[in-house]
Amino acid sequence: MTRDGGPAYPRALAALLLCAALAVPASASTVYKWVDENGTVHLSSSKPPPGVKYQAIDVGSPSPGGRKSPSGGSSNAAKAPAASPAQAAQRSEVLASLRNRECVIALEALDRLTSGTQPTSAAEITRLKQTGDANCSADPGRRHEQEQMAAKLRVANGADCVKARNGLADMMAKRAKATPDQLRAQQAFVEAHCIPPVQ
């Protein structure tokens, strides 16, 4: 019995299951995301250092029936089998996509904060630069693409695009009078300029 009068068995079983879940290596199809003490976002197929809180993203479990551990990782009662080539490729693709997303968001925020009029702390600028360095491509061609995506994200999040999307919504809901040509023109503008390249 526990101090509150309830049976001790469910708590002991929960503690045992928790220990078992933490002792088992995570599935080979898991990507880990965490933020270090400097605020830098990291994405990896390897677990972060012990004691670091992380989010585990399952990109295709090799064996069904996995349980979620408190830190978000998937674990099974037995050691997870090695990832198949297809699973490894899928994990690499998801990891690349997540890194690209973090890179683009960091570059957009860095550009916005350093060229804007709002006050920004040096710590925030450093954090964004470190997140960009940790996740952006070292390949000059790919880095240029990421910088273009960041510029497009800044435009898509800007006041003109917010106004354009709201105007399109009003036209489609018939709250604003518009001819079919005006509606098509508004929709074309939104599709060309106001769809964020990453969410």
User: pLDDT in tens for each of the 199 residues of the chain?
Assistant: 434 444 333 333 333 333 333 333 444 567 888 888 777 788 887 888 888 888 888 776 544 444 344 444 444 444 556 778 888 888 888 889 999 999 999 999 999 888 877 788 889 999 999 999 999 999 999 999 999 999 999 999 889 999 999 999 999 888 888 899 999 999 999 999 898 888 7
pLDDT of residue 79: 55
Query: Which tokens go with 194?
Result: 């106001």
pLDDT of residue 30: 78
Residue 64 CB neighbour total at 10 angstroms? 6
pLDDT of residue 37: 79
| Contact criterion met (CB below 8 Å) for 71 and 53 | yes
What whole-number distance in Å separates Cα of residue 124 and Cα of residue 131? 10
pLDDT of residue 80: 56
pLDDT of residue 8: 39
DSSP 38: T
DSSP 7: -
How many residues does this entry show for the chain? 199
What whole-number distance in Å separates Cα of residue 187 and Cα of residue 90? 34
| Contact criterion met (CB below 8 Å) for 21 and 75 | yes
What whole-number distance in Å separates Cα of residue 154 and Cα of residue 129? 17
